[in-house]
Structure 1
């Protein structure tokens, strides 16, 4: 007896042309639909990619400093109420997104981060030794 799965997804592209077919999606920066032969393409142009990453870099420095204080200098973080400051920064960033980006979020999903850095999901901490 041969078992047949109904509604099974094909194992891969049926033809070479199917492999090169564009993958429709919305640009993370401007929200415009775009198609790319690259399945992981997130932006419609270099301009949008650079604007998205520049915004993240600009916002990230203060978040980084506050988070590191929260994680590694608890007495100072408690005295300055760093958790509250982090939440205020995040609320301000979201308000900017709503006002300037028609509500589109300016961050990648945790799944996207883990796809790029799977070691973050490890239960044990790996310490890098000198290079």
Structure 2
């Protein structure tokens, strides 16, 4: 069980590295003023999203589900757990929105500016704080 928890935490850390850094790349990409730089950002975004982000998301969800199986009755009855699951679902949606933007940047079809992406970049931080508080305190705030 402890190995599963450890692997879950490692996966979460890797996934959040992507969720923090990829939108920051979007900020810089939206501000880029030459084709060479824009092409470099496309490569970085694609590698980060598909090379680290997608595998980390899958590992996070897989190890998380595996950990829950060990004490399903406890988790099923815990309100904090269901709130956490809802917030994780929001993160999964956010992850896929990032994938949408990776594809839009690749096609040079992004209409959002760097200011939008600066604000967009803040959501995972808020969700991380809420999720960690739920897990550590084992109760809704």
TM-score normalised to the size of structure 1? 0.33
Structure holding more helix per residue: 2
Structure with the largest fraction of strand = 1
**TM-score scaled to structure 2, two decimals?**
0.32
Bigger Rg over Cα: 1
Greater RCO between the two (CA within 8 Å, min separation 6)? 2
